[in-house]
Amino acid sequence: MTQSPTFETTFYVRYAETDQMGVVHHAAYVVWFEEGRSAWMRSLGSNYADFEAEGLNLAVSEVHARYVAPALYGRQVTVRTRGDEIRSRSAKICYEVVDTESGRTLVTGYTRHICVDREGQVVRIPDRWRKLLAASKAPEADS
């Protein structure tokens, strides 16, 4: 299967994200996934604020992270984000966090999202949004 294209966003590890030894706390990666997801949406030509302005949210229904190596204070990290499964009411977004200088993988993971309206009811992702998200996917390889 062909991987979909990725979008990269790079930033420095902030002191507040680390423990006394300068190692990033595990919960910070979930925030970094969100930053990657927001940058990815902007790279597609829109942003999540526009989605919310239509009265919709992509509520996080699942988070998975596999910690491979620690991120350290003062280092630059790059979050690589790509769409994986874009369905009528849900989406799965994948991430890889790497040390920017060495390219070493630090964390891999994904988030699953379900589309809900302002009342919290599950609804279909509007066609234009689903097409926008799906446009970031590479075509499936022939079997």
Q: How far apart are CA 135 and CA 132, in angstroms?
A: 5
Beta bridge partners of 110: 64, 94
Q: How far apart are CA 40 and CA 26, in angstroms?
A: 22
Q: Which of 19, 84, 99, 142 is catalytic?
A: 19
User: What percentage of the chain's residues is helix, strand, coil (to nearest 5)?
Assistant: 25, 40, 35
3-state secondary structure of 59: strand
Verify whether residue 127 is a known catalytic residue: no
CB–CB of 123/54 below 8 Å? no
Q: Point out the residues that are catalytic.
A: 19
